[in-house]
Each structure stands twice: as C-alpha cells, then as structure tokens.
Structure 1
C-alpha cells in the first residue's frame, strides 16, 4: 500500500509539474508573440518615420546649382566674388557658421515666401531667399502679394503658388560653402542677404 501511495503521490506530482511546465511554456510563447508584435509595430512606426523623412528629403536644396541669368551684377558689393566668408544664416541644416566663398553678388531685392509644394509636401513657411526672376511674371513685389514660382531651387517649387512674407534690399549673394557636418560641398547656393554673411580673416 505504501508503495502504491508513493507511486500515486509521485504520479500526481508529475502531473502537477507537467501542468506548470506547460503553463510556463504557454506564457513564454505568449510573451514571445507579444514581443514580435511590438517589434512589428515598431518596424511599422519606423517605416512611417522613414516615409516622413523621405517626403521631407525631397525638399532638400540642390548641391550644385547654376548661377541665375537676368540679374544685374552688383557694382560695389560689401563682399566680393571669391572672398572667404562665414555664413550666419540658418536657412538649411548645417549652414550656420559654415565656411564659404562668394560666388556672385546681384543688385536685386530678396523675397521670403510661404508656398505649397507641387509635389504634395507640406506648406513651406518663410523660405529664404528668392528674387524677382524666380516669379513667373519677373516683376518686383511687396509683402502680401501672391505669386507663382518659376524656380527649381527646391523640389516641388516650380509652379507653386506662393505669398510674399518679407522683402529685403540687396545685394543678393550666391555662395559656395562646406556644411558644418562635413557633408558634400554646396555650390552656388541662392541666396544670402548681406547681414547673413561675415568676412573671414
């Protein structure tokens, strides 16, 4: 009897232990599935962020633009072509405090605009700078005027509807500069105002 009782107890313990093991395995499996689900969701979020970054990256400036035609050359600009400068503007990432040189100087007003990109991007606020040759009518404008852009400085700009939000006297400077993050050198960036530049000794 004692042996039978012992065998019964052992059998019962085996059943209990097996049940506990199965429960633990089940819990572990559920946790694994939950982790995979979270990782999957995280991946989806990353993909969403990547899509946003991809969308915003279409708004990046050209790295090797052409100098404009149709603007009068400034006769006696404060900063001369070829002069070494430091950029003080913050129009683009890695621009402020970048080292550069003057590529050209033009006798024209500068315009900041708000515009809706034609490629489906978000509204761009206070884009600096454009000149009158960047408008389809090629005319001078004042703050509040609505214009159509005839410029490809940025993706989605050509043909976009815009509103003038700021007007500054020239000269308008085109500059070459090395971004402060060590990225690709930017050639013929259009444009900087005179107070966004300082001479470099």
Structure 2
C-alpha cells in the first residue's frame, strides 16, 4: 500500500516538474496575456450602442451576414464563425488603463470606440493622450483613466459567436474591426 502511494507521489512530482519546465518566452507570453485580460471580459452584451454612433451605410459585412473572426484579441475568438449584429463607422482605439476596481494596468485593450470616450465628441484623440472611458466592456473599465495606444478610422462590428475554447455563446460582443473578419469560403 505504501509503495503504491509512493509511486503515485513520485509520478505526480515528475508530472509537475515536466509541466513547470515551459520555455521562458512561452511563460512570459502567457503571463502577459493574463495581465492584459486579468479582468473578465463582459462577453455577453446588449444591442444597446451609444446614441451618437453612426450606422455604416455600406459595410463590407452586412448586418445578418456571417463571417469568420481572424483576430485573437480575446481567447476563443480566432476562427469562430460570427453573425454580424451591427456595423458602425467610427474611430477605434487600442487603450491601456488602470481598472477602477484596482489591480494591474490592462495593456493594449482592443477596442474602445470614439463614442465610448468621455467628452470626445468629434475630436479624435491621438497616441499618448489621456482619456476617461465610458465603455463597460470589462469590470473596472467604466470611468477609468486610459492612455491611447493607437487609433484608426474604420467600420466596427458588433458580433455574436460561439467561443472556440469554452463553447460559450457570446451575444452582441463589442467590437471587432473590419480587418478582423474574413468572408466565409
């Protein structure tokens, strides 16, 4: 009996050592991803969008159409088939911000749009500008001070899809950009 327990313990130890020997770069990459998305993304959304957001008149992906998400800015997104729920013309920003709930800075969050920045109106902000977020994509985001990392004028899409990793149905996810979608072949 004791020999069996000893062998089980030895096997578990070897297994744990093997698991802990990831390459340094892979471990750093995983840590960075965890840091960037340490707060749970509010996947399921509503159809509600900012009142001043303009619908795209001629979007490449029409409302109701389906596309493949080629972006990996969220776990389970890349390769998922999505239904386009809305298409809007705006400026999309990558931002880094300190959550109002505390914790580490969330770096390079994609995407916050012009209409989700407090007092932005029609003035595009630039790289390095400090802004206050109205977006509520993640816990601690609304009201947080953010730094603009990059900006681009584009069509953004609200999409529904099933996560490739969890199998969870995600409704009205805000936002993906046009270059993060691909036509179904």
* TM-score (normalizing by structure 2): 0.75
Determine if the alignment matches structure 1 residue 61 to structure 2 residue 41: yes
Aligned pairs for 1:15-34 within 5 A: none
Determine if the alignment matches structure 1 residue 100 to structure 2 residue 85: no
Determine if the alignment matches structure 1 residue 119 to structure 2 residue 101: yes
**Poorly superposed stretches of 4+, deviation over 2 Å:** 55-58
Aligned residue for 2:149?
165
CA 1:64/1:143 → structure 2, altered by over 3 Å: closer, same or farther? same
Aligned residue for 1:76?
58
Q: CA RMSD of the aligned region, Å?
A: 2.5
Structure with the higher fraction of residues in helix conformation: 1
TM-fit CA distance, 1:183: 2.3
Give the Cα–Cα distance (whole angstroms) in 2 for the partners of residues 58 and 166 of structure 1: 21
Identify which range, 130-139 or 170-179, moves more after superposition: 130-139
Structure 2 contact 36–107 (Cα < 8 Å) conserved: no
Structure 1 contact 82–101 (Cα < 8 Å) conserved: yes
Give the Cα–Cα distance (whole angstroms) in 2 for the partners of residues 115 and 57 of structure 1: 11
Q: Specify the SS of the correspondent of 2:99.
A: coil
Identify which range, 130-139 or 172-181, moves more after superposition: 130-139
Greater relative contact order (CA < 8 Å, ≥ 6 in sequence): 2
Give the Cα–Cα distance (whole angstroms) in 2 for the partners of residues 77 and 171 of structure 1: 7
Unpaired runs of at least 5, structure 1: 1-34, 36-54
Give the Cα–Cα distance (whole angstroms) in 1 for the partners of residues 68 and 61 of structure 2: 11
CA 1:115/1:56 → structure 2, altered by over 3 Å: closer, same or farther? closer
Aligned residue for 1:86?
68
Give the Cα–Cα distance (whole angstroms) in 1 for the partners of residues 37 and 151 of structure 2: 27
Structure 2 contact 95–147 (Cα < 8 Å) conserved: yes
CA offset digits 1:83-104 (Å, max 9, x no partner):
1111011111111111111110
Give the Cα–Cα distance (whole angstroms) in 1 for the partners of residues 184 and 166 of structure 2: 19
Q: Specify the SS of the correspondent of 1:133.
A: helix
Determine if the alignment matches structure 1 residue 175 to structure 2 residue 159: yes
Larger Rg belongs to: 1
Unpaired runs of at least 5, structure 2: 1-8, 10-34
